[in-house]
Amino acid sequence: MRMKFLLLSIILSSYYVISAGQNIYDLKECISTGLERNFSILVARNNETIAKNNFTPGNAGYLPTLDLNGRYGGTVNNTTQNFTDGTASSTNGVNNTAATAGASLGWTIFDGFSVRTTYKKLNELKQLGALNTQMEVENLISQIIAGYYNYIQQVQTLKNLDYALSLSRERLRIDKARYMLGSSSKLMVLQSQVYLNADSSALSKQQEVVRASIIKLNELMAVENLGNEFQSADTSIIVDESLLYEKLYDETLAGNTSLLIASKNKSISEYDHKIISSRTYPYLNFSTGYNYTFSTYGTGTYKNQTVDGLNYGVTLGVNIFDGLNQRRSIANSTIEIHNKELKYLEVEQGVKADLLTIYNVYSNNLRLIKLEEQNLQTAAENLDIALERYKLGSLSGIDLREVQKSLLDAKERLLAIQFQSKLAEISLKLISGTIMEYYK
């Protein structure tokens, strides 16, 4: 019973010692670091800011435009004049100058509702920018969660192999003692040494896998030192078994980011159609301005002249014929709206299919977890019995190795199915738009 208790403590316990000088990260800290530093998120947020900056009345055309201009220039001319009576006159270096300044104001009063429609489109683009950022955030969170629990799985596998190595050491010690007493052969000692070396090699390879999982998680968090060592606050993979398909289905249709983006794209194409159609309406523009001119003359009756004044006007127009380009543009925009509707239906169908497929995997994995937990318990009991029989000499070394391997395989299968179940859980929350629950 003592051996059995020791075995279960090492295999099933979620506690392990933290190395000195290493940071301890929980899942929320990993997510927070990634959201703050990940490069893809930073780019997405910059693009979102651009879309926000573009959503202004002036960009839509609501506001008038005001231009100021000024110019100073002149001419230096040589003039020769020949008169009909045979006389001639010439002047050289005549310098005329002119300084002008003006202000012009233009304002679109009506353009077939294009301004109002453009403003609504800019608002949709702003919301689309936020949704694109949200998608980047959700994808990053799902990757960080998967990387975090992959690290836990690899650490647990490392502990599993470390325990296998301790069993091989114990077996080698027993065989050496029995050989010294003359109750065992040299062959048994050598065989035990081979198994010990194989377990040492497997442990070394697993250390490389753990190291790779650390680097990958640091990359997702955009940590400057990718080799930064850390330990996870969680030491086991706990799967949420409360997910219900009906609830996930409703949440998916209401909050799936891909569906929301497809819906926004459809709305934007409808606004584009309205903007193109507005060209068939008359347009009315108002303009006014003020101009000032000061001129100097090198010759002539006037030495200088000043002219200033106000101008204004209203322009009313309508396009009568443009080579049927307007009709073509409207027809193409109608097709584009239909394409966006089809794209939305395609995305919706794909999301529903993914939800159903992953939920089936999730449900089956929950059943497999229960089965593998039972297998692990049985394998642990078998090893306890096998070790006692091996000490008494009633069990061969090959049979003991098989029992030991069965226990290690059972633990690895349990870890693998727990991790796969967690990935299915993460995917379901990502599809349903509830992935942010991990960050609360």
Question: pLDDT tens for residues 110-137?
Answer: 888 999 999 999 999 999 999 999 999 9
Average pLDDT of the segment spanning 38-62: 95
Check whether 3 has a pLDDT greater than 80: no
Check whether 10 has a pLDDT greater than 70: no
pTM of the shown model:
0.85
Phi then psi for residue 103, to 5 deg, are: -135, 135
CA pseudo-torsion sign 429, 433, 438, 440: negative
| 414 and 371 Cβ atoms separated by less than 8 Å | no
Q: How confident is the model at residue 347 (pLDDT cuts 50, 70, 90)?
A: very high
Q: Indicate the SS3 state at residue 228.
A: coil
Q: How far apart are CA 12 and CA 373, in angstroms?
A: 10
pLDDT of residue 96: 87
pLDDT of residue 187: 86
Q: Chain-wide mean pLDDT for the chain?
A: 89
pLDDT of residue 22: 63
Of the candidates 261, 237, 246, which has an alpha carbon nearest to the alpha carbon of residue 424?
Answer: 237
Check whether 106 has a pLDDT greater than 60: yes
| 296 and 72 Cβ atoms separated by less than 8 Å | no
Check whether 8 has a pLDDT greater than 90: no
Check whether 82 has a pLDDT greater than 50: yes
Q: How confident is the model at residue 327 (pLDDT cuts 50, 70, 90)?
A: very high
| 113 and 282 Cβ atoms separated by less than 8 Å | no
Q: How confident is the model at residue 81 (pLDDT cuts 50, 70, 90)?
A: confident
- Based on the number of CB atoms within 10 Å of its own CB, is 72 exposed (0-12), middle (13-18) or buried (19 or more)? exposed
Tens-digit pLDDT profile for residues 173-209: 888 887 887 777 788 888 889 988 998 999 999 999 9
Around 70, how many Cα atoms within 13 Å sit in the side-chain half-sphere?
4
Tens-digit pLDDT profile for residues 235-280: 899 999 999 999 999 999 999 999 999 999 999 999 999 999 998 9
Ordered domains of the chain (ranges, CATH): 2-66+111-283+323-439 (1.20.1600.10)
Check whether 430 has a pLDDT greater than 50: yes
pLDDT of residue 18: 39
Classify 19 in phi/psi space as left (phi over 0), alpha (psi -120 to 50) or beta. Answer: beta
Q: How confident is the model at residue 139 (pLDDT cuts 50, 70, 90)?
A: very high
Average pLDDT of the segment spanning 318-334: 93
Check whether 79 has a pLDDT greater than 70: yes
Q: How far apart are CA 386 and CA 383, in angstroms?
A: 5
pLDDT of residue 315: 93
Q: How far apart are CA 315 and CA 93, in angstroms?
A: 44
Which DSSP helix (H) or strand (E) runs through 406? helix 397-431
Q: How far apart are CA 185 and CA 182, in angstroms?
A: 7
What are the respective helix, strand and coil percentages of the chain, to the nearest 5? 65, 15, 20
pLDDT of residue 84: 81
Tens-digit pLDDT profile for residues 364-412: 999 999 999 999 999 989 988 988 888 887 788 788 888 888 888 999 9
